Amino acid sequence: MSTGTIISCPGGFVDGAEYAHSGAAVYVTNPATGQVFAELPSATEGDVDVAVRAAGRAFDQWSVLAVRKRGELLGRAADHVEGHLDELVPLLTREQGKTLRDARIELTKAVDTLMHYVGLSKALRGAHTPNLDPGIEGIVLRRPLGVVGAIVPWNFPTTLLSNKLAPALIAGNTVVAKPASTTPLTTLRFAELLTEGGLPPGVFNIVTGSGSSTGTALVTHPEIRKIAFTGSTAVGEQIMALAARGTMRVTLELGGSGPMIICDDADLGAAASAASMGRFYNCGQACLAIKRVYVFDSVADEVIDQITAKAKRLRVGRGDAEGAQMGPLHTAAQRDEVARQVERTLAGGGTLTAGGGRPQDPELSDGFFYLPTVIADPPHDAPMAIEEVFGPALPIWRVADLHEAIERANASQFGLGSSVWTRDLRRAREAAQRIEAGYTWINSPTKVYDELPFGGWKSSGYGKEHGQEALDYYTETKSVVIGSTP
Ligand code: NDP
């Protein structure tokens, strides 16, 4: 581990101000250089308790505000964050590794999501049934849950936070968030900016530290009413088991192994571009990334050639370097895991057509870089067909027809994103109906929209983020029956 000048910070943000944690130091590394550049103390169980209690006190005021008022306050605060993107973008690049361009896209999206729910705050409606029985009517009340714990990974620290924060706050909850221990800095500044922009103290608090200690303390705190988690399936399952003890609410956005089906009648150029963007964006570290391609045999050579050419053309470099299109992986461990998955897959067969190792450039030797990699025709039971590959490596298989493609797409424990490319409406409809996944893009890049619910089937998770639906996961309903006797 090489080190340079190290920034120190107190670690927490509680009740509208910085809060000094009392636990062991956590270090933040620049993935492009391998250098540690920040340290912060982690939150102990006691520190988590302080943050949750602050959120509990704030809940008493926040939950009774008019929903329109909550929207106004969050909207002004989000505007303030937007005014500071130039400061946040390089910070996100430095701790996460992504390019400056991708950091700006991420942060802009994080603000957009806050604004989306600010807009929805003006459109909330209730349910009323007039004649349950003669003279008897029913209404459905919605109430916020209380203090929500948000646990967020390192791949998109701010958008994955906004996806939870925005519906939670608009629904009237308060939040204690724990970012990944490797990406705490942008989140801390994000919280500070929201408070400067007018979000009341205690409504949004941050604790930082490892998942095993700080994360567990948050999940098991008796005043937490819900955990909204994004991360690995293994940790999601642990959280669900812990939550079961107190029947605490959870939403789990977990791993994915998104299939893309390319039919023989597709616009092959557009499909190859979407596969390349869908796999290599954010250095392949996205839950909804395209992680398996199934292409009709008759057009497979052309598609493999096109995706391979795109992979070879991608400019890999430090996130802050001019013209870099793909940065490093987030950690050395993440890079080594992807390298192992590629090696284990190739050991069973298939042809490496691009990448397959680290870049040769000595300027990049200390960072966690790995070349955009394409493997054609690996075995169907290869590790890359079965496991989630969280990095820039894409396997491509040939299939005889749509039936085989869908069967193979569904032969996975995951069910998050999926994509189909065809000009035939019947094929598109069949794929959308039969693929087991929470999202199917038809002839469209893998982009998530705030307007539509997003969430996984099978081992990819439970519950929805985005859309009007997300608000449902931050409220409890109560049915009220009103009789006619005074
Ligand atoms: P994790 O699931 O371990 O981490 C995600 C978040 O959960 C982090 O904030 C982490 O803290 C926290 N956490 C970890 N353990 C616990 C726990 N026991 N209780 C509460 N919180 C906990 O993912 P990793 O970052 O370790 O990534 C491992 C793999 O998971 C990746 O290779 C990828 O396959 C998958 N993954 C998938 C993501 C997706 O969006 N689908 C996102 C991230 C990872 P800490 O920072 O200390 O680890």
Residue showing tokens 């042809």: 351
**Is residue 211 lining ligand 1, measured as CB closer than 6 Å?**
yes
Contact (Cβ atoms closer than 8 angstroms) between residue 362 and residue 343: no
CA distance 14 to 176: 9
Residue showing tokens 């130091």: 25
**Is residue 254 lining ligand 1, measured as CB closer than 6 Å?**
yes
User: Which residues fall within 8 angstroms of residue 212, CB to CB, at 6 or more apart?
Assistant: none
- Res. 375: pLDDT tops 80: yes
Give 104's DSSP letter: H
The residue nearest atom 34 of ligand 1, judged by CA position, is: 390
In this predicted structure, what is the pLDDT of residue 22?
97
**Is residue 351 lining ligand 1, measured as CB closer than 6 Å?**
no
The residue nearest atom 25 of ligand 1, judged by CA position, is: 153
- Res. 371: pLDDT tops 90: yes
**Is residue 388 lining ligand 1, measured as CB closer than 6 Å?**
yes
**Sheet-wide strand order for 2-8:** 2-8, 35-41, 25-30
Please identify which of the residues 106, 253, 387, 388 carries the catalytic annotation.
253
Q: Which atom of ligand 1 is nearest to the CA of 239?
A: 19
Please identify which of the residues 109, 164, 178, 310 carries the catalytic annotation.
164
- Res. 74: pLDDT tops 80: yes
Known catalytic residue: 287?
yes
Q: Pick from 220, 231, 216: which is nearest to 157 by CA?
A: 231
Beta partners for residue 296, in sequence order: 399
Ligand 1 mean position to 141 CA, how many Å? 35
In this predicted structure, what is the pLDDT of residue 2?
46
CA distance 106 to 282: 10
Work out the pLDDT band at 247, boundaries 50, 70, 90. Answer: confident
The residue nearest atom 36 of ligand 1, judged by CA position, is: 232
State which H helix or E strand residue 425 sits in: helix 425-434
Contact (Cβ atoms closer than 8 angstroms) between residue 160 and residue 131: no
Q: Which atom of ligand 1 is nearest to the CA of 238?
A: 18
CA distance 13 to 201: 10
**Is residue 156 lining ligand 1, measured as CB closer than 6 Å?**
no
- Res. 122: pLDDT tops 80: yes
**Is residue 331 lining ligand 1, measured as CB closer than 6 Å?**
no
Select the more confidently predicted residue: 246 or 157. 157
Work out the pLDDT band at 246, boundaries 50, 70, 90. Answer: confident
Max Cα–Cα distance, the chain, nearest Å: 83
Ligand 1 mean position to 138 CA, how many Å? 43
- Grouping H, G, I as helix, E, B as strand and the rest as coil, residue 77 is helix
In this predicted structure, what is the pLDDT of residue 124?
86
Known catalytic residue: 465?
yes
Q: What is the pTM of this model?
A: 0.96
Please identify which of the residues 287, 310, 388, 464 carries the catalytic annotation.
287
CA 426 centroid distance within chain: 32
Q: Which atom of ligand 1 is nearest to the CA of 219?
A: 20
In this predicted structure, what is the pLDDT of residue 370?
98
Taking CA atoms, 45 is separated from 49, 220, 340, in Å, by 6, 10, 36
Contact (Cβ atoms closer than 8 angstroms) between residue 98 and residue 282: yes
Ligand 1 mean position to 22 CA, how many Å? 23
In this predicted structure, what is the pLDDT of residue 1?
46
Give 136's DSSP letter: E
- Grouping H, G, I as helix, E, B as strand and the rest as coil, residue 376 is strand
Percentage of the residues of the chain whose pLDDT score is greater than 90: 96
**Is residue 178 lining ligand 1, measured as CB closer than 6 Å?**
yes
Q: Which atom of ligand 1 is nearest to the CA of 218?
A: 20
Ligand 1 mean position to 152 CA, how many Å? 8
- For a mutational test of ligand 1's pocket, the pick from 235, 459, 466, i.e. the residue with the most ligand atoms closer than 8 A to its C-beta, is 235
Backbone angles phi, psi at 2, to 5 degrees: -95, 150
Ligand 1 mean position to 256 CA, how many Å? 13
Ligand 1 mean position to 302 CA, how many Å? 37
In this predicted structure, what is the pLDDT of residue 485?
77
Average pLDDT, the chain: 97
Ligand 1 mean position to 128 CA, how many Å? 41
In this predicted structure, what is the pLDDT of residue 3?
52
Helix axis angle, 100-120 to 85-96, nearest 10°: 120
Ligand 1 mean position to 37 CA, how many Å? 22
Residue showing tokens 């996944």: 437
**Is residue 213 lining ligand 1, measured as CB closer than 6 Å?**
no
The residue nearest atom 26 of ligand 1, judged by CA position, is: 232
- Alpha-helical segments (H) within 314-412: 332-347, 383-386, 402-410
Give me Rg for the CA atoms of the chain.
23
